[in-house]
Amino acid sequence: MFRLPRPLACIAVVLASAQFATAAPSIQNVSPRGLQIGQPTLLTITGGDLGEGSQVTLDAPLATQVVKQAAGNQLQVEVTVANEASAGIYALRVTNDRGISNVLAIGVDSLPQRMFGEEIGERPAAFSGNLAGAQILRTKLTGKAGERLVIDLESRRLGAQLRPVIRLYDARGAQVAWSGRRRELQDDARVETVLPTDGNYTIELHDVVYRGANPGFFRLKVGDLQTADYAFPLGVTRGEQAKVAVDVVASAATDSATTPMASVDVTASAATLSPVALPNGGATWTGGRPRVVVSDHAELVEQTPSEGTQTLSPAPVAVSGRLSSAGEEDRYTLPVAPGAKLRIEVLADRVGSALDGVLMVRNEKGGQLARGDDQNGTADPMVEYTIPDKVEHVVLAVKDLISRGGDDFYYRLEVTDISHGDYGLTMDADRVNVATSGRQLLNLNIDRRGYEGPVELTFPGLPSDVQVAGNAISAGQTKALVTLSATGPAHSGVTHVVGMATVGEGDSSRGLRRNALAADQAAYSAQPWLRSELAVGVAASPATLTVNWSNAADADSLPLGGKLPVKLELVRGEQVTGKIRLRLLTTQIPPKKKEKKDDKEVEVDDVERTLRLEPEPVLAADATNADLNLIVPADLPDGPWGVVLVAELLSADEKNVVQSAYTAARRLATSR
């Protein structure tokens, strides 16, 4: 769905694009690194193009915001998060009439926000600071015997590069407690202890090898805190409103025997990961929001069947479980079809579980058919296995590599039928800003994993005044050129790019849904669901340069071995002068050929077998139209092929591109 950002009750803001001469806002730092629910916090944001009209947006509800200063490189704004907000780490952006900024991560909770100093007075509280290189930072506090104390340092979860260590010393200098990097905290650190005596204590912070990289900002939370690092079950089914249990590091005021429950509403969600809202109320909730996988198939929970194995439904299916005691092995019976190729995968290490998983596939008599251990970059195992003839059931077993167990040995086991292949999608941007009457280009790439068919691309909930063209990937092709255009009025929001394919035939056919992911960013560490979000906005100001097809879009095809006449119309705004270079973009990957260069055989693009403009023209400074020919190779495979023409306004010396404009994307079939 298209979700509006929240600068005061979802006030719409205008966005800019690369089609404007002015730049969209960018943000580099925010101080402090946290906001207090229900109380005003003065934020100082530094970056670029933070002028008049700038305001913050947050994916948590805001009660008020008052801009104190909006200069070119600094924005000061007093922000009050609404009382109904739940604690967590959220995405912060700045918007103004020139566009929308990149994302920074910021903590939100009920703790008073302070700057890090030599002493800690009131508790609980949060303290923002910076640590780099060989620095050792210290701060003091006074505590009581029996007092529960949590010291939680958010740094990597906020997008920094610090590898933190926390040490707590008593008045004699003896170490009471310490913490290094913890997997469940994305390598941040947290101390949980009970103070042994009345007296003074010192908190010491440093990088693990005393070589802290920049940026080294952090937010240190100190007090009787309550946090939740994961939710269980780890997966929910799209279209449902589910209840999940949140794992709690409880405060002294909390009944540790009671497991808090949280709601996850994915009835209309387009995401594949969803944050879990921590229970509202209670002044000590803090930390990142747990997340759950959102799937389109059954999500089960481990049971304790009398016969020792739990029977699952056929693939696709997932089950969330836990190895509660040392030496435990969980077993599941899976109905299968002979010849089916299955991908069986454990999710544990990647979501902070202590489990170093081992995955086994057995026959019903206990004989091992396949086994999986670590994958690249993770301790989570995966097996791809083709079911032999006459086999109707297999048994899946999960255990820890060294037979450990406990509450934090949780996992999600997923089985997917990949007999017809699979695919993944990536996009080259996390935001698209469109000027009124202008267009912006979004490039998408597909990683085909055995599936070679077409993929349709949708933008759930996109407003009707934002038009999308080129939103499909043809069979066998590896990318899409998608253009977005708009007619106004000004607004902004967040959507997803969702790919949908159909695999199988007849009664066995099913949809294969995959979300496009943007490049990973440090700010996504505690919010991985942001990778599948695309911010889209429409600006009130019209585009200052546009290029449009003059000939009818539906009448054209690509004549193999021939030429397609192309007519373009250019519209320049006032004071937009200069030569314009026209350039062709297509979804064809240029074929290669070998030729000799310096007595060596090298591989180069085979231009004669590539879709191209001949020549690629540079138009005069007063040109308003162009007549071109698109050259079509005789052996071009069947399409449709995506085609976009780019008009590039050149600098006076013709060495740089000042501005770019795009035609609407077309998908052209071949003809003979």
CATH architecture of the domain with range 125-223: Sandwich (2.60)
Tell me 279's DSSP state.
P
Q: What is the mean pLDDT of each run of 10 residues along the chain (672 residues)?
A: 52 35 80 97 96 92 97 96 95 86 94 97 96 97 97 97 98 98 94 98 98 96 94 92 76 54 76 87 83 95 82 97 96 97 97 96 96 91 97 97 96 96 96 90 97 97 91 97 88 90 85 95 92 87 91 76 94 91 97 90 94 90 93 95 97 94 96 88
In the CATH hierarchy, which top-level class contains the domain 544-671? mainly beta
Edge to edge, the sheet with strand 40-48 lists 26-31, 40-48, 74-81, 62-70
Dist CA 265 CA 267 (whole Å): 6
Query: Dihedral of CA 95/100/104/106: which sign?
Result: positive
**Could you write out the DSSP letters of every residue in 34-89?**
EEEBTSEEEEEEEEE---TT-EEEESS-EEEEEEEEE-SSEEEEEEEE-TTPPPEE
CATH architecture of the domain with range 26-109: Sandwich (2.60)
CATH node for 298-417: 2.60.120.380
Residue 562 exposed, middle or buried by CB count within 10 Å (0-12, 13-18, 19+): middle
User: What is residue 554's predicted lDDT score, i.e. its pLDDT?
Assistant: 53
Dist CA 229 CA 190 (whole Å): 12
Q: Specify whether the CB–CB gap between 40 and 96 falls below 8 A.
A: no
Angle at CA of residue 409, ends 351 and 306, nearest 5°:
125
Residue whose C-alpha is closest to residue 401's, from 376, 380, 375: 380
Task: Compute the residue count for the chain.
Answer: 672
Q: Which two tokens stand for residue 653?
A: 């010396």
List Cβ neighbours of 274 (8 Å cut-off, separation of 6 or more): 236, 264, 266, 291, 292, 294, 529
Q: Which two tokens stand for residue 508?
A: 């066995």
Cis previous bond, 559, omega within 30: no
Ramachandran assignment for 529, one of left (phi > 0), alpha (psi -120 to 50 degrees), beta (any other): alpha
Q: Which two tokens stand for residue 305?
A: 């069947």
Q: Which two tokens stand for residue 595?
A: 């030729």
